[in-house]
């Protein structure tokens, strides 16, 4: 067991693997190409009037070879297991039993989709007068698939990743919408930096093509309706467009990576999170400003990747914060990928690392002037993730060396 | 006077406050007296109709009221009560100003049937589909349901009420969640990020669909009559676990910080360990290696050897597979001692509090250390002849207890163990 008495932050933590499966495609090249071409994949009809960013279909067999495993999962888990597999591939540790048997996992997850036919079947029967005391029980006992529960349980995304890839370290699942993704990265980073862990798989996945989720967010009038617009251009037509995506990262201590000859995309220098009370206007922007101040000193060529969703008032508050740092080119992942909830923050870190490793920030995609062009290679990218309702997170991703 | 750091040079983590609610009652005093008296909190469910269910009993917490009722609302209310109790005992910080982070083990959150039914009725026609539900969901009428059914809502409420610092973490590692919340707190203190952490675990999910889900996986006992005799850990005629509700809260502090402010130390979290099983979604690897590894990691983390453990607070769910696996793996780690160390399962009385179990049982373990008395495993009438644990059957036992191992194993290959000790001499 490693001595954990050392001060946090002593060990440099590298991002050595990235796995992406999104509405723009799978893998780093496809996503990078789509970003460069400002391609956006939205479905305005399938869930009309709601707009979603559907997963660009992938062949799950390549990362989840057993059909039996695929059948035990719902879409959100399949997307996540797929992206996690890509991340392990990208880090060059797929099938490496020595490493996989000790890799630590911190997964940010919501829950699985419901069986809509069962739900509407019960409700319509009740509307037609079925009111025996045990009616719901009997219908659930006969109509629910026995294994559906396992496809709904939050920690079974991690469970399935472990089963499909043979992972045997620790496994923790964080819930709590957007900030769960930031806290997952924060805890994994501090565990590696302090020597508690050498290598970790961190990320999340989300299926945005779900009517049960649309109902949940419609309760709060958060869904984008009728017409797509970039995140920053939604002020008078607010809302988020749910997106499907899986984003996973392999985080590794520099020593561990060097020992196996792994190359970093970038280093993850810091992740900070908080819970603004959001009682009055300005609370959230103030918390973002506080987090900005907690990040290590930035003197390199910087940029910001924001997870702003388009929901209000959170997006306006974030814009107020960004205005104070208007010299930093900003990119909103919500415009291109939709709002992927727990996955948005890991996705932001992934895109930051990718931009640094490719020596360029991807182009702006915005009609309001919030996003400006960036010349040259970014060396420091701040990832901002503010929840549509609660939770704020920030990370600093930097070039190595 | 103890060294403020452990053998590995890390800050020693102690417990200075505890709060608990189970089907036995509210608070440590009530729970402990009923636990050592061998009382069961399992009863026939009255919260909702039980017609058509195979399992009709559970360890519900019916004395805590929540209006409008939801499982998440009950989880939140119980978490609030146990946190208040733990903070009063610890006397730390100020009201609404806890000087550290919150780690909350909570059941996954989802829209529940009462709210779904309300929506169904609001459609106003007999034939409808999901799009009709979606159409009437907006407009602000159900705004409160958005907040209620956010995964982070319980943690946000607790963080705001008790003034914990930073972003509260909501976590799920299935039946190991309570242990994981403690582990996260221990790690944060050991890393030196904080002097104190609030670890809370809560589960109020005895509702029709949750019961049906476990029932369909054949995980629940169906020995409904009498309900008090349903949960039979280590017995030959055990047939599954009994769902239950409850919550536990622990205030963790570095030994240094606790002694500096003159706090009473209730016990030490000497070791934590965790190891993932990638064999199957609901079953343990037949060779038991992940559980064996988990216990060994925990011993190593505590810097202890098996002979230093003098009591095991077992996961002991009373499912046929778990109890057998737990004995086999414990034997692999402890050798002959596995048949000598007194073992008990609190689940025989309070049922399986799922997400809360790890914390609830850690608190019972600490109370065992305090009282030097091991609560019984009730309903132990017909011992399973293949499980040769020294089970504290049916009657509480006085014993010299200096170190307890508490185990939690969950769906999704989640294994976590804790070692709890008295304040070191």
Q: Which two tokens stand for residue A307?
A: 């997870």
Report the pLDDT value the prediction gives residue B316, as an integer from 0 to 100: 98
Q: Check CB contact under 8 Å for A389 and B146.
A: yes
Query: In a 3-state reduction of DSSP, which class is residue A86?
Result: helix
Beta carbons within 10 angstroms of residue B264's beta carbon: 13
Residues in chain B: 425
Report the pLDDT value the prediction gives residue A401, as an integer from 0 to 100: 84
What does the pLDDT average to over A266-276?
A: 98
Is the pLDDT reported for residue B22 higher than 60?
A: yes
Report the pLDDT value the prediction gives residue A8, as an integer from 0 to 100: 46
* Catalytic residue selected from B175, B199, B272, B294: B175
Is the pLDDT reported for residue A345 higher than 70?
A: yes
Q: How far is B251 from chain A (nearest CA, A)?
A: 20
What does the pLDDT average to over B81-104?
A: 98
B53 confidence band (pLDDT: 50, 70, 90): very high
Q: Where are the alpha helices (DSSP H) in B64-175?
A: 71-90, 113-123, 130-135, 143-148, 153-162
Give the separation between CA B257 and CA B263, rounded to whole angstroms: 9
Report the pLDDT value the prediction gives residue B110, as an integer from 0 to 100: 95
- Indicate the residue of B9, B125, B134 with minimum beta-carbon distance to A214: B134
- Helical pair A211-219 and A116-127, crossing angle rounded to 10 deg: 60
Chain B residues with CB-CB distance to A169 below 8 A: 275-276
Residue with tokens 């693997």: A17
Give the separation between CA A144 and CA A134, rounded to whole angstroms: 15
Is the pLDDT reported for residue B1 higher than 50?
A: no
- B127 interfaces chain A, CB cutoff of 8 Å: yes
Question: What does the DSSP 8-state code read for residue B5?
Answer: B
- A158 interfaces chain B, CB cutoff of 8 Å: yes
B424 confidence band (pLDDT: 50, 70, 90): low
Report the pLDDT value the prediction gives residue A1, as an integer from 0 to 100: 31
For chain A, helix, strand, coil in percent to 5 are 40, 20, 40
B405 confidence band (pLDDT: 50, 70, 90): very high
Q: Check CB contact under 8 Å for B214 and A149.
A: yes
Q: Check CB contact under 8 Å for B172 and A175.
A: yes
Give the separation between CA B259 and CA B262, rounded to whole angstroms: 5
Report the pLDDT value the prediction gives residue A298, as an integer from 0 to 100: 84
Of A201, A247, A253, A254, whose CA–CA distance to A94 is shortest?
A: A201
Give the separation between CA A386 and CA A341, rounded to whole angstroms: 10
Residues in chain A: 401
- Would the CA dihedral through B114, B119, B125, B129 be positive or negative? negative
Going from the C-alpha of B44 to that of each of A202, B53, B61, B272, B326, the distances in angstroms are: 43, 12, 12, 36, 29
Is the pLDDT reported for residue A294 higher than 90?
A: yes
Strands B403-410 and A380-386: unpaired
Q: Which residues make Cβ contacts (< 8 Å) with residue A236, sequence separation at least 6?
A: none
Beta carbons within 10 angstroms of residue A376's beta carbon: 9
Question: What does the DSSP 8-state code read for residue A22?
Answer: E
Is the pLDDT reported for residue B9 higher than 70?
A: yes
- Would the CA dihedral through B205, B211, B213, B217 be positive or negative? positive
Q: Which residues make Cβ contacts (< 8 Å) with residue A48, sequence separation at least 6?
A: none
Q: How far is B74 from chain A (nearest CA, A)?
A: 18
Instruction: Tell me the per-residue pLDDT of A201-253, one tens digit each, with 9 for 90 and over.
Output: 999 999 999 999 999 999 999 999 999 999 999 989 999 999 999 999 999 99
- Indicate the residue of B8, B54, B173 with minimum beta-carbon distance to A155: B173
Answer for the pair B325, B336: CB distance below 8 angstroms, yes or no.
no
Answer for the pair B139, A222: CB distance below 8 angstroms, yes or no.
no
Residue with tokens 């990370």: A395
Angle at A333 between CA A330 and CA A338, to 5 degrees: 150
Peptide bond connecting B367 to the previous residue in cis, omega within 30 degrees of 0? no
Q: Check CB contact under 8 Å for A175 and B106.
A: yes
Is B315 catalytic? The answer is yes
Of B48, B363, B356, whose CA–CA distance to B181 is shortest?
A: B356
Beta carbons within 10 angstroms of residue A124's beta carbon: 18
Suggest the residue from B118, B167, B213 to mutate for an interface test with chain A (most A CBs closer than 10 A): B167
Residue with tokens 């020593």: A255
Give the separation between CA B188 and CA B186, rounded to whole angstroms: 6
- Would the CA dihedral through A347, A353, A356, A358 be positive or negative? negative
For chains A and B, count residue pairs whose Cβ atoms are closer than 8 Å: 269
In chain B, what percentage of residues exceed pLDDT 70?
99
Chain A residues with CB-CB distance to B142 below 8 A: 219
* Catalytic residue selected from B157, B199, B272, B315: B315
Residue B375: exposed, middle, or buried by beta-carbon count in 10 A (0-12, 13-18, 19+)? buried
Report the pLDDT value the prediction gives residue B2, as an integer from 0 to 100: 57
Report the pLDDT value the prediction gives residue A300, as an integer from 0 to 100: 82
Query: Residue A6, Cα to own-chain centre: how many angstroms?
Result: 30
Instruction: Tell me the per-residue pLDDT of A6-36, one tens digit each, with 9 for 90 and over.
Output: 344 479 999 999 999 999 999 999 999 999 9
Strands A104-108 and A171-175: parallel
Write down the pTM of the prediction: 0.98
- A220 interfaces chain B, CB cutoff of 8 Å: yes
Residue A118: exposed, middle, or buried by beta-carbon count in 10 A (0-12, 13-18, 19+)? middle
Q: Which two tokens stand for residue A323?
A: 């205005």
Q: Which two tokens stand for residue B256?
A: 């240094």
Report the pLDDT value the prediction gives residue A299, as an integer from 0 to 100: 85
CA nearest to B142 within chain A: A219
Going from the C-alpha of B309 to that of each of B316, B406, B421, the distances in angstroms are: 18, 10, 9
Give the separation between CA A373 and CA A361, rounded to whole angstroms: 9
* H/E segment holding residue A20: strand A13-22
- A180 interfaces chain B, CB cutoff of 8 Å: yes
Query: In a 3-state reduction of DSSP, which class is residue A309?
Result: coil
Is B352 catalytic? The answer is yes
Give the separation between CA B386 and CA B284, rounded to whole angstroms: 18
A270 strand-pairing partners: A396
ipTM over 0.95: yes
In chain B, what percentage of residues exceed pLDDT 90?
98
- A113 interfaces chain B, CB cutoff of 8 Å: no
- A9 interfaces chain B, CB cutoff of 8 Å: no
* φ and ψ of A88, to 5 deg: -65, -40
B267 strand-pairing partners: B15
Beta carbons within 10 angstroms of residue B386's beta carbon: 11
Of A368, A45, A366, whose CA–CA distance to A226 is shortest?
A: A45
Of B47, B149, B113, whose CA–CA distance to A122 is shortest?
A: B113
Question: What does the DSSP 8-state code read for residue B272?
Answer: E
- A68 interfaces chain B, CB cutoff of 8 Å: no
Strands B414-421 and A302-306: unpaired
Q: Check CB contact under 8 Å for A159 and B413.
A: yes
Give the separation between CA A246 and CA A26, rounded to whole angstroms: 9
Give the separation between CA A317 and CA A312, rounded to whole angstroms: 8
Burial B72-105 (b: 16+ CB within 10 A, else e): bbbbbbbbbbbbebbbebbebbeeeebbbbbbbb
Of A70, A4, A344, whose CA–CA distance to A180 is shortest?
A: A344
- Would the CA dihedral through A281, A286, A289, A295 be positive or negative? negative
In chain A, what percentage of residues exceed pLDDT 90?
95
Residue with tokens 């987090």: A291
Instruction: Tell me the per-residue pLDDT of A107-165, one tens digit each, with 9 for 90 and over.
Output: 999 998 999 999 999 999 999 999 999 999 999 999 999 999 999 999 999 999 999 99
- Helical pair A344-358 and A27-36, crossing angle rounded to 10 deg: 80
A3 confidence band (pLDDT: 50, 70, 90): very low
Report the pLDDT value the prediction gives residue B296, as an integer from 0 to 100: 98
Q: Check CB contact under 8 Å for B137 and A114.
A: no
What does the pLDDT average to over B71-95?
A: 98
Query: In a 3-state reduction of DSSP, which class is residue B114?
Result: helix
Give the separation between CA B404 and CA B223, rounded to whole angstroms: 31
Query: In a 3-state reduction of DSSP, which class is residue B130?
Result: helix
Is B175 catalytic? The answer is yes
Is the pLDDT reported for residue A4 higher than 50?
A: no
Instruction: Tell me the per-residue pLDDT of B282-337, one tens digit each, with 9 for 90 and over.
Output: 999 999 999 999 999 999 999 999 999 999 999 999 999 999 999 999 999 999 99
Q: Check CB contact under 8 Å for B209 and A156.
A: no
Q: How far apart are the first and last CA of chain B?
A: 7
Q: Which two tokens stand for residue A42?
A: 């939205």
Give the separation between CA A295 and CA A396, rounded to whole angstroms: 7
Q: Check CB contact under 8 Å for B143 and A138.
A: no
Give the separation between CA B392 and CA B373, rounded to whole angstroms: 10
- B208 interfaces chain A, CB cutoff of 8 Å: yes
Query: Residue A363, Cα to own-chain centre: how many angstroms?
Result: 21
């Amino acid at each position: 067991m490693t001595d954990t008495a050392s001060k946090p932050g002593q060990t440099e933590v590298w991002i050595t693997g990235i796995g992406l499966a999104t509405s723009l495609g799978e893998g780093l090249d496809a996503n990078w190409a789509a970003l460069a071409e400002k391609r956006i994949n939205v479905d305005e009809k399938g869930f009309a009037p709601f707009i979603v960013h559907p997963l660009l279909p992938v062949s799950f067999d390549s990362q989840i070879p057993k059909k039996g495993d695929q059948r035990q999962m719902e879409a959100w888990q399949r997307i996540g297991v797929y992206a996690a597999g890509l991340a392990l591939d990208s880090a060059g540790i797929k099938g490496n039993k020595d490493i996989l048997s000790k890799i630590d996992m911190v997964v940010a997850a919501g829950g699985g989709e419901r069986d809509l036919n069962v739900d509407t079947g019960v409700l319509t029967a009740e509307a037609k007068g079925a009111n025996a005391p045990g009616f719901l029980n009997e219908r659930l006992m006969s109509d629910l698939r026995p294994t559906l529960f396992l496809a709904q349980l939050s920690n079974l995304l991690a469970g399935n990743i472990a089963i499909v890839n043979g992972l045997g370290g620790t496994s923790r699942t964080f819930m709590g919408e957007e900030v769960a993704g930031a806290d997952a990265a924060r805890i994994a980073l501090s565990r590696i930096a302090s020597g508690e862990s050498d290598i970790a798989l961190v990320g999340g996945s989300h299926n945005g093509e779900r009517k049960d989720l649309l109902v949940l967010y419609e309760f709060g009038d958060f869904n984008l309706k009728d017409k797509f617009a970039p995140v920053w251009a939604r002020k008078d037509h607010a809302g988020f467009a749910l997106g499907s995506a899986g984003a996973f990262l392999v985080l590794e201590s520099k020593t561990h990576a060097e020992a196996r000859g792994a190359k970093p995309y970038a280093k993850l220098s810091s992740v900070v999170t908080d819970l603004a009370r959001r009682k009055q206007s300005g609370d959230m922007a103030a918390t973002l400003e506080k987090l900005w101040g907690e990040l290590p000193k930035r003197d390199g060529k910087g940029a910001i990747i924001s997870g702003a969703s388009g929901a209000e008032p959170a997006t306006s508050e974030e814009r107020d914060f960004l205005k104070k740092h208007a010299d930093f080119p900003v990119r909103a992942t919500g415009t291109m990928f939709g709002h992927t909830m727990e996955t948005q923050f890991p996705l932001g870190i992934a895109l930051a690392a990718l931009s640094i490793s490719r020596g360029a920030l991807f182009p702006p995609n915005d009609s309001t002037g919030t996003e400006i062009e960036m010349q040259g290679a970014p060396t420091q990218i701040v990832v901002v993730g503010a929840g549509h309702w609660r939770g704020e997170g920030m990370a600093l991703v930097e070039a190595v060396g | 006077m103890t060294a403020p750091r452990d053998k590995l040079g890390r800050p020693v983590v102690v417990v200075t406050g505890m709060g608990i609610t189970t089907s036995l009652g509210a608070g440590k005093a009530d729970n402990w007296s009923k636990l050592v008296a061998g009382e069961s909190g399992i009863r026939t469910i009255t919260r909702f109709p039980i017609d058509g269910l195979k399992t009709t009993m559970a360890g519900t917490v019916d004395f805590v009221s929540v209006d409008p009722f939801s499982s998440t609302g009950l989880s939140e209310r119980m978490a609030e009560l146990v946190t208040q109790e733990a903070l009063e005992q610890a006397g730390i910080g100020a009201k609404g100003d806890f000087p550290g982070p919150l780690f909350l083990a909570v059941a996954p959150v989802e829209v529940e049937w009462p709210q779904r039914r309300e929506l169904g009725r609001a459609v106003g026609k007999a034939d409808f589909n999901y799009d009709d539900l979606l159409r009437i969901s907006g407009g602000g009428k159900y705004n409160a349901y958005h907040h209620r059914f956010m995964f982070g809502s319980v943690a946000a409420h607790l963080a705001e009420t008790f003034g914990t610092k930073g972003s509260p973490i909501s976590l799920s590692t299935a039946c190991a969640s309570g242990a994981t919340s403690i582990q996260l707190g221990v790690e944060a203190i050991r890393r030196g990020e904080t002097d104190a952490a609030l670890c809370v675990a809560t589960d109020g999910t005895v509702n029709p669909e949750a019961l049906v889900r476990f029932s369909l996986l054949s995980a629940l006992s169906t020995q409904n009559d009498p309900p008090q005799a349903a949960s039979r850990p280590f017995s030959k005629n055990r047939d599954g676990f009994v769902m239950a509700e409850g919550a536990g809260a622990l205030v963790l502090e570095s030994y240094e910080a606790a002694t500096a402010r003159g706090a009473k130390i209730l016990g030490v979290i000497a070791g934590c360990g965790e190891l993932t099983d990638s064999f199957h979604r609901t079953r343990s690897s037949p060779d038991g290696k992940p559980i064996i590894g988990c216990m060994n990691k925990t011993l190593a983390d505590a810097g202890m050897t098996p002979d230093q453990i003098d009591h095991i607070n077992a996961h002991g769910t009373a499912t046929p597979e778990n109890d057998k696996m737990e004995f086999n793996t414990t034997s692999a780690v402890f050798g002959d001692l596995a048949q000598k160390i007194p073992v008990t399962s609190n689940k025989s009385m309070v049922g399986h509090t799922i997400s809360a179990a790890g914390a609830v049982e850690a608190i019972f373990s600490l109370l065992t250390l305090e009282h030097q008395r091991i609560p019984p495993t009730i309903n132990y009438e017909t011992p399973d002849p293949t499980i040769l644990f020294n089970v504290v059957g049916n009657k509480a036992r006085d014993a010299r207890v200096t170190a307890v191992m508490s185990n939690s194993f969950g769906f999704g290959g989640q294994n976590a163990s804790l070692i709890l000790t008295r304040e070191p001499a």
